[in-house]
Amino acid sequence: MSVRASKSFSDKGPSCCLAALPVQEFRMPNRAHFLLVSLLLASTTSFAKKSELVMTWPQDKPTLKLTFSNFQNMGSFGGKTTLVSDVVVQNLTEKVMPRAIFDVSLLDKNKVRIGTAMLVVDDLNPGQSAKVQFQCAAVGQPATLSIAAHNSAGVPSSTRLIPIMIISVPPGATLRVDDQLVGTTPITVRMMSGTHNLELQKDGFAVAKTPLDVNPDETPGGSITITLGGLADDTIELRDGSILKGDVVSMTLESVIINVQGKEQTFDRNQVKKIFLVERIVTHSSTPQAAVKSSSPSDSQAPHR
């Protein structure tokens, strides 16, 4: 995708007709010579006073605004003219843009490319603007300017969405990314570069939370595996939405008793929606009995003499 805008680089300022006079008959007093020099200077600087060129990218839902100042001619060498412009790039989104890279092309009046160069801007906070310098060598007189994102995905690396598969062990966990519900694991989520917060929930397991750093140059096909931990306490979810954590003391067909922070609470079974019990491993250790020292028959029944 590219956005095109046109700006004339030709000088259409006032021209001088003195060249029509015979050279040998032309005589100019000092004051008139001063006025002529001033007129020529005004014609040369009229291009510098032209309005700035404002472009947005992309066209449908702009994320960046680029304002090109008037191009300055820095000289010619080898048939190429070096042009320089100060560009103000503004982040129009609510997310940080670590880097955006564009190919900027200069075209002539016939839409033929006569020059190209790269424009790079780094570390743009939401709504922030940064001024960078753009320099390009053109072969001929440019008339049109166009920009295109510089990567295979067709969007700046800071704004392109990178697919990453989120896997949980066991599967079937509810996944939230940046507090937004996205689905059930395993699932592939398309995320922008930057740091994201993942939250996974599954009945019978502890809630898992972890940050995920997505690199702007991340290649598609990556994945992350998160192992869910077990619950630390028994959990009772009531039908009114409240959740109690503690130790379930007893369960019958009529009621459930749970010990929460040292206090037992009894609930009717009709109030209970779910019960999650923590697996407990009980080990029995037997205390070895003291060995009974048996007396030798010869010792205990020794005849008396």
What tens digit of pLDDT does each residue of 106-120 get? 988 898 999 999 888
Q: Which residues of the chain have pLDDT under 50?
A: 1-49, 152-154, 291-305
Dist CA 169 CA 208 (whole Å): 11
What tens digit of pLDDT does each residue of 145-196 get? 888 876 544 456 556 678 889 999 889 999 999 988 999 999 999 887 778 8
pLDDT score recorded for residue 172: 92
Burial class (CB in 10 A: 0-12, 13-18, 19+), 2: middle
**Which CATH number is correct for 2-149, 1.20.140, 2.40.420, 1.10.357, 2.60.40?**
2.60.40
- DSSP class of residue 58 equals S
pLDDT score recorded for residue 40: 31
pLDDT score recorded for residue 48: 39
CA 7 to the chain's CA centroid: 33
Q: Where are the domains of the chain?
A: 2-149, 162-227, 234-276
CATH class of 162-227: mainly beta
| Strand 80-91, strand 64-68: pairing | antiparallel
Classified by CATH at the fold level, domain 234-276 comes out as SH3 type barrels. (2.30.30)
Helix H or strand E encompassing 65:
strand 64-68
Domains 2-149 and 234-276 are alike in CATH topology: no
Torsion angles phi and psi, residue 265, rounded to 5: -125, 135
What tens digit of pLDDT does each residue of 50-64 get? 567 888 888 778 888
pLDDT score recorded for residue 203: 82
pTM: 0.40
Q: Is the dihedral of CA 285, 289, 290, 294 positive or negative?
A: negative
